[in-house]
Chains A and B, each alone.
Chain A
Amino acid sequence: MTPVDDDAPPASPAESLALIRQEQAAVADTVAINPLAYYLPWGVAWLIGYGLLFLRYGPGGRIFVPLPDWLPLVTLFALMVLAMTSTMVVSARRGRGVQGRSSWQGTAYGLAWFLAFAGVGSTTGRFVRYLPADEQGLLWACVSVGTVAVMYLAGSAIWLSRDMFVLGAWLTVINIAGVALGPGWHSLLISAGGGGGLIALGLTLAMRERRRRG
């Protein structure tokens, strides 16, 4: 075999294969998202935020821990802002120097989150005033969690991800159960099942990733 120039051929078939694996993995890293940075901050926000809501606004108006009435929501929103920042940083870093289909998928999906919440938020905000106070909180929470669930289900169709589908379906189920059980219980379910579920998924994906790399 005549080389077409001075670029030396790999020393052996094994070295060829090693080079192929090395470069494919390097590119896969560029294209993949970091599951811990993507799921963990949202899981923590829900676990703590909805957890505090449950402790302060328990089922039947019970107060398990006499926290200041503003504290749970302020904590939830502050943690969600941090989570959103983390998501935006992760998404911007992902696919640096990559153009084409996947960057369009990511951009459209990110915008879809904002548009979904703009529509759902304005509708809920218009009608929530006709409800008693404890049902108002429940309406905001169940509409938000339901929207998040739908976005993950849509994401599973875009990235052919079974994990995202399971997450979206699970959030839908606990959301429906929480609505049926009523205010207080919904917060507990979303804190433990939703926040816990997001954290569990982030950790599972990160461990799977590590095992794959050996």
Chain B
Amino acid sequence: MADLDPVIHAQARLRIMAALSGLPDGDRMTFPRLQQILDMTAGNLSVHLTKLEQAGYVDVAKSFRGRTPTTTAALSARGRVAFDDYTAAVRALLDPSKES
């Protein structure tokens, strides 16, 4: 398991990356909805989103709708590549014959 990206290979962050990878291209998910889908506390989600953002895997944007701040997140291009690589590596570990 030495090859697995340590930023993604952690339960909370893997779940965040997987959820964001399920969005159609060009879409972003709001923080509260992401929190609801992942059933994580706001603090926990915030910590891990920041780590993913620092790694350049997730693009976090803050905007205002009226006076209400909205935070949205989406995979960055780099994050999508890293997630695809991670998924391929995990598949290869499960079935080495399919390793490319």
- Residues B22 and A27 in contact, CB atoms below 8 Å apart: yes
Report which of A7, A16, A27, A102 forms a contact with B37, defined as CB distance below 8 A: A27
Task: Check: A14 CB closer than 8 A to any chain B CB.
Answer: yes
Interface size on A, residues (CB 8 A): 33
Task: Report the separation of the CA atoms of residues A19 and B23 in the bound assembly, to the nearest whole angstrom.
Answer: 16
Residue of A nearest to B92 (CB): A13
Residues from chain B with Cβ under 8 Å of A24 in the complex? 18-19, 21-22
Chain B contact surface mostly:
helix
In the complex, how many angstroms separate the beta carbon of B43 from the nearest chain A beta carbon?
Answer: 13
- Name the B residues within 8 Å of A30 (CB-CB): 33, 37
Find the residue from A20, A22, A100 having the highest chain B CB count within 10 A: A20
- Contact residues, A5-19 vs B (CB, 8 A): 5, 7-10, 13-14, 16-17, 19
CB within 8 Å: A-B pair count: 112
User: Is the pair B27, A101 in contact by a Cβ cutoff of 8 Å?
Assistant: yes
CA distance A204 to B52 in the complex (A): 40
Which residues of B from 1 to 29 have beta carbons under 8 Å from A? Answer: 1-2, 4, 6-7, 9-15, 18-29
Q: Do B18 and A19 touch across chains, with their CB atoms under 8 A apart?
A: yes
Whether B26 contacts A100 by the Cβ 8 Å rule is: yes
A23 in contact with B27 (CB, 8 Å): no
B94 touches A100 (CB 8 A): no
Docked CA distance A9–B8 (Å): 9
**Per-residue 0/1 for B54-86: is the Cβ within 8 Å of any A Cβ (1 yes, 0 no)?**
000000000000000000101000000000001
Using A17-B90, A19-B18 as known contacts, say yes or no to A101 and B25 having CB atoms under 8 A apart: yes
A211 at the interface (CB under 8 A from B): no
